[in-house]
Structure 1
Amino acid sequence: MTDRRTLPQPPARGNPTVLVIGGGAAGNAVTVLLRRAGIQVDLIETKPDWNATTGSGITLQGNALRVLRELGVWERVSTSGFPFGTLGITAPDGTVLHVAEDIRTGGDDLPATLGMQRPQLQQILIDVVRPSGATVRLGTTAETLEQDADGVSVRFSDGTQARYDLVIAADGLNSATRAAIGITEKPEPTGMAIWRIATPRPEGVERTDLAYGGPAYIAGYTPTSEHTLYAFVVERCRDRASIDPAAHADEMRRVAQGYGGFWPQITKHIADPRKVNYTWCDRLLVEGSWHRGRVVLIGDAAHCCPPTIAQGAAMSLEDALVLAELLTSGRDWDDELLQSYYDRRIHRVRTVVEASVRIGQWQLDGVRDADVPGLIGRTMSVLKEKP
């Protein structure tokens, strides 16, 4: 990783420059893929720790693993996580009602699903960005972006300035870049919220199990390694101000105590409020295009959905792969190319967003005969095709 305070002027024509705003999964992935093609990339991230310690667990399905393999990190991911191939549906008391075979959306040579600790995934991606030759500046934001026909002039929070051929906004759900370029869509609450925590893995937990009903709408867990687990409960969203952060563990434990099976072994570890995360579930889908001029959105800046089918990270990683493929195809970086990126992504992303929101709405509406496994299966069948 290179660190510099004053960025150079753009290089000669034919050697384009890119600014990536946001060092999450999408930003890190597109940085690596563009650097591999020899494109100069500067990556800025607002968090000084590069989000290396944030989050509990993450569920990665085959289409996400396919991108991680393309990034060259599959071996590390596979040894860090916990692969499995089925999804269990249980009653609140832990009785298994249905076990479905997960569709291998990444192909037969990859696991259908893999759970892992989110900070470990972020560290793996950081470790591949560092030696890529990208310039990385942490604790830095883009204060202004001024576009013309040939590029984007950017002024940063540390007072430096630079000019780029393209800016990629990977700055997440509440993207300041999205608003700055005049895209008016904003995330909307779905009415649900999720409690999350990482705990030790009880012996015998070998897959994701989801319980619908009971004290919450959904209670589930995913093994994230031989020794760890990611547990979550989904309920109707509350006013965040009404929940004292010091009581987060008490609140999550109170809801989780209503579930049987492996839950009693999980619940006893819900003790430290600092390890519990409470988040509203939002939806967002920017329509029409994901760019304005030479600034383009990827990942949660363009779309997000509730984690009801665990495809958020996969969609972001696929964005990075498709955009990098187009930018390194030899075509001009013009409006037509950036629109083709949107055109390739929108049907697939819309399918995921709509299915994820629908499953959540079924819970909110108390639909007892909802075909959750069927909708998940139909959505995964779409995702088996390459992006």
Structure 2
Amino acid sequence: MAAVENVLVVGGGIAGAATATLLADAGVSVELVEITPDVTALGSGITLQGNALRVLRQLGVLDECLEHGYAADQLVLRAPDPDATVVARLTEHRTGGPDLPASMGMYRPDLARILMARAEQAGVKIRFSTTVQELEQDDSGVDVRFSDGSTGRYDLVVGADGLRSWTRRLLDVPLETRAVGMGIWRVFAPRPAEVVSSEAIYGGPCYIAGYTPTSGSSLYAFLVEDAQDRTTITDEEKVAVVRGLAGAYGGPWREILASISDPGAINYTWFEEHLLDAPWHRGRVLLIGDAAHTCPPTLAQGAALGLEDASVLAELLTAADAVDDDLLVSFAERRLPRVREVVEASVQLARWQLAHEQGDVPALMGRIAHLTSRPA
């Protein structure tokens, strides 16, 4: 018997949907609230490393994700010259195990839709346009008042509501989210036929100019610059800026550049980082995913860390007889060292690039690959 009978998950992103599904599969009554009115996902594309694919397989959605996404085992590095000369073809480590691809690119909205549909199939009660307004708890549970005026009582509340977590604010948990110093343009575009894996160019007007296939016909391209305030930029300016940056690169970028015209296919965010020290809970309310930790996408581990949180939490809750402080402490103690190492490594890569410093990138990436190859 699981340690909980009913659980509220706040946030329908990757970590929230995965947590809800795994607990519902174990017989727990799960309710999930999502503040947006429908299944949504910020950004155009996402890279999922092997350790993320391992959890997608656990969730039973890996095959569907592979049908919609684009798996690869190689990273191509090109020079910032007019021909984008290939300088290296690197075989990526299969951190999910030898039977899984090294990585997979996906259109973010496809992944969000698949995960939420799986949660619904598992019996999760999903409520959109709703979030938590108030939390009151005692030793046996949490009383919740929602934004629509309804109420409920739960054995455990899981705050998986992202970087700016409202659950974290309700708990009055102090956490400083720091800008790393880089901003990233992401563009959803058609895939040139020659692009069959992730590729990256270091140098030129951007720190990194790269792209990752997200399906047989699409990719997301990214351009990393110094972080700037782009909040007031018009749609026309957005397209012009991205085309200007992309125009400095050759090779497949020429074909990608020709397709960049829709401002709706472009988004811009800053690299940010934070890491909550243990414990990650207050009473019977627990924070996971970006609500507890976030890192720049230099190692493409953000989604994987959230999926691992979900897997470990479900494992602990379904193996215990009751929820207590020791159980929730053990969750953070198990996750924190691994998460800290990934977050710090991701930030270190960004800092080397900002300083134009030649750090030992192969050693750092090898260390993280070895770490994430071990099941969480």
Q: Which amino acid aligns with 1:373?
A: P
Alpha carbons 2:33, 2:127 under 8 Å: kept: yes
Per-residue CA distance 1:195-223 (angstroms, 9 max, x = gap): 00111100111111111111011111001
Alpha carbons 2:4, 2:156 under 8 Å: kept: no
2:72 is the counterpart of 1:84: yes
- Paired with 1:376 and 1:210, the residues of 2 have a C-alpha distance of 15
Question: Aligned runs of 1:211-360 on 2, under 5 Å?
Answer: 211-360=201-350
Question: Aligned runs of 1:92-111 on 2, under 5 Å?
Answer: 92-93=80-81, 94-111=84-101
- Paired with 2:22 and 2:95, the residues of 1 have a C-alpha distance of 21
Q: Which amino acid aligns with 1:174?
A: R
Distance 1:259 1:35, change over 3 A: same
Shift of 1:15: 6.1
Identity of aligned residues (%): 51
Question: Aligned runs of 1:14-25 on 2, under 5 Å?
Answer: 16-25=5-14
Instruction: Tell me the equivalent position of 2:44.
Output: 56
Scaled by the length of structure 1, the TM-score of the pair is 0.94
Per-residue CA distance 1:111-162 (angstroms, 9 max, x = gap): 0111111111111112111122111110001001111111111100110111
Please list every run of 5 or more consecutive structure 1 residues that lacks an aligned counterpart in the other structure: 1-12
2:320 is the counterpart of 1:370: no
Between 1:236-245 and 1:220-229, the stretch displaced more is 236-245
Alpha carbons 1:247, 1:273 under 8 Å: kept: no
- Paired with 2:236 and 2:162, the residues of 1 have a C-alpha distance of 27
Q: Which amino acid aligns with 1:74?
A: L
Instruction: Tell me the equivalent position of 2:144.
Output: 154
- Paired with 1:177 and 1:308, the residues of 2 have a C-alpha distance of 27
Q: 1:203 aligns with which of 193, 197, 205?
A: 193
Q: 2:122 aligns with which of 104, 111, 132?
A: 132
Q: 1:34 aligns with which of 23, 37, 46?
A: 23
Instruction: Tell me the equivalent position of 2:33.
Output: 44
Shift of 1:245: 4.1
Q: Secondary structure at the match of 1:60?
A: strand
Instruction: Tell me the equivalent position of 1:186.
Output: 176
Between 1:191-200 and 1:236-245, the stretch displaced more is 236-245
Q: Secondary structure at the match of 1:328?
A: helix
- Paired with 1:84 and 1:358, the residues of 2 have a C-alpha distance of 25
Alpha carbons 2:3, 2:320 under 8 Å: kept: no
Scaled by the length of structure 2, the TM-score of the pair is 0.96
Shift of 1:331: 3.5
Shift of 1:14: 7.6
Alpha carbons 1:331, 1:337 under 8 Å: kept: no
- Paired with 2:231 and 2:48, the residues of 1 have a C-alpha distance of 32
- Paired with 2:275 and 2:306, the residues of 1 have a C-alpha distance of 13
- Paired with 2:48 and 2:332, the residues of 1 have a C-alpha distance of 23
Instruction: Tell me the equivalent position of 1:75.
Output: 63
- Paired with 2:44 and 2:3, the residues of 1 have a C-alpha distance of 43
- Paired with 1:14 and 1:250, the residues of 2 have a C-alpha distance of 54
- Paired with 1:288 and 1:34, the residues of 2 have a C-alpha distance of 23
Shift of 1:176: 1.0
Distance 1:222 1:43, change over 3 A: same
Q: Which amino acid aligns with 1:152?
A: V
> RMSD between aligned alpha carbons?
1.4
Alpha carbons 2:4, 2:155 under 8 Å: kept: no
Shift of 1:332: 2.2
Q: Secondary structure at the match of 1:268?
A: helix
- Paired with 2:291 and 2:109, the residues of 1 have a C-alpha distance of 21
- Paired with 1:135 and 1:241, the residues of 2 have a C-alpha distance of 36
Alpha carbons 1:174, 1:186 under 8 Å: kept: no
Q: Secondary structure at the match of 2:140?
A: coil
Distance 1:246 1:171, change over 3 A: farther
Q: Number of matched residues?
A: 373
Q: Which amino acid aligns with 1:73?
A: V
- Paired with 1:95 and 1:347, the residues of 2 have a C-alpha distance of 39
- Paired with 1:296 and 1:272, the residues of 2 have a C-alpha distance of 40
Q: Which amino acid aligns with 1:76?
A: E
Distance 1:21 1:218, change over 3 A: same
Shift of 1:98: 2.2
Distance 1:246 1:170, change over 3 A: farther
Per-residue CA distance 1:332-363 (angstroms, 9 max, x = gap): 21111111111111111111111111111111
- Paired with 2:196 and 2:103, the residues of 1 have a C-alpha distance of 11
- Paired with 1:15 and 1:379, the residues of 2 have a C-alpha distance of 34
Between 1:349-358 and 1:90-99, the stretch displaced more is 90-99
- Paired with 2:242 and 2:272, the residues of 1 have a C-alpha distance of 20
